[in-house]
Amino acid sequence: MSKVVGGEVPMPKYFFHTRDHDTLYEDLEGVQLTDDQVAIQEAIAAAREICAEKLKYGHEIDGQVFEITTEDGVVIGTVPFRSVLKI
């Protein structure tokens, strides 16, 4: 939960865990963003960057998904990497 500090409510923190098939790689740092929608847009942008690198080096893009969670561990959305490609 966010606490009021100096009269301001801090922005919520989001975590972008990466699931690669059956393996979950946890984001231990997270990032503060204004709201859920901004967090989902950030995940989409990050997935595009990762896909671009994978394509550049001939790596497969299959099965990787961002799982976006709040500080409380609530999943607010998922972004499959393949879903951000426009081919």
What average pLDDT does range 57-77 have in this prediction? Answer: 95
8 inside domain: no
Q: Structure pTM?
A: 0.86
pLDDT in tens, 13-47: 999 999 999 999 999 999 999 999 999 999 999 99
Task: Name the band, by pLDDT with cuts 50, 70 and 90, for residue 86.
Answer: confident
Region at 52 (left for phi over 0; alpha for psi -120 to 50; beta for the rest)? alpha
48 inside domain: yes
Report the C-alpha gap between 42 and 32 in whole angstroms. 11
Domain that holds residue 58: 13-84
How many domains is the chain built from?
A: 1
5 inside domain: no
3 inside domain: no
4 inside domain: no
Region at 28 (left for phi over 0; alpha for psi -120 to 50; beta for the rest)? alpha
78 inside domain: yes
User: What single letter denotes the amino acid at residue 61?
Assistant: I
Q: CA 15, 72, 30 angle in degrees (round to 5)?
A: 20
Q: What is the mean pLDDT of the chain?
A: 92
7 inside domain: no
